[in-house]
Amino acid sequence: MSKPAIVIAIDGPAAAGKGTLARRLAAHLGYAYLDTGAIYRAVALKLLKQSIDADDTPAILAAARSLDPDELNSDELRTDRVGEMASQIAAIPALREALVEFQRTFAANPPGGAPGAVLDGRDIGTVICPKADRKLFVTASAEERAHRRYLELTGKGEQVSEDEVLADLKKRDERDQNRATAALRAAGDAYLLDTTNLGIDEAFAAALDYIAAR
Ligand code: CDP
């Protein structure tokens, strides 16, 4: 039997730098990478395109079950509108349940025969992979996260103000932290990485030190 895959769980609030860090760690370690937010966003995008409401659970579950992995790579996923819808539907327990198996299968059998997997999201270290080999909880101040998200969105041509982005982000944090199922919180055994005053290279170095030291 081959060795069990090494699993690295990275959780944290919106725009804390999880995605950039997770992608870079995966590339460095030769592991597969799964952006679990993209799954919620892909379901949200389907709903928006089909004019399905955020409270129509049967239609949402049908959309989730018909999701094609190729849909996780769409350029349309990273808009504010899709993020907001993703955060609304992510509070539906039946939807979360429907997406568990896909995420656990990815972690246990990383595509391409990779020796490990990096998953980023909100509940990877707490619910999806509570036995992950390494857990990071990546945060930054709301203002710094709003600034980064503002640059990301305007860089892609979206017309938004930094104040709007900050208000939206706080609303999303509040919803993610207070939902009844799989609320956003750091696992007790997670390494806390505050990137408020760290550039990408510094955050990467700190994460690698933690991964190597355990
Ligand atoms: O990039 P950003 O951090 O803004 O968001 P994302 O990671 O793409 O996730 C979009 C939304 O999906 C979040 O606001 C969460 O509500 C939800 N989500 C979740 O509930 N659980 C996950 N594992 C990943 C995302």
Over range 157-184, report the average pLDDT: 92
| All domains of the chain in start order, with CATH | 1-31+115-214 (3.40.50.300), 36-109 (no CATH)
Q: What pLDDT is stored for residue 213 in this prediction?
A: 87
Q: Does residue 76 register a pLDDT over 90?
A: yes
Pocket probe for ligand 1: among 18, 36, 97, the residue whose CB has the most ligand atoms within 8 Å is 36
| DSSP symbols for 133-151 | SEEEEEE--HHHHHHHHHH
- What sign results for the dihedral spanned by CA atoms 90, 93, 96, 98? negative
Residue nearest to atom 4 of ligand 1 (CA): 14
172 CA → ligand 1 middle, Å: 9
* Mean pLDDT over the full length of the chain: 94
Per-residue pLDDT of 104-132, as tens digits, reads 999 999 999 999 999 999 999 999 999 99
Q: What pLDDT is stored for residue 3 in this prediction?
A: 84
Query: Which residues contact ligand 1 via a Cβ below 6 A?
Result: 14-15, 36-37, 40-41, 83, 86-87, 90, 121-123, 172, 176
Cα–Cα distance, 98 to 62 (Å, whole number): 10
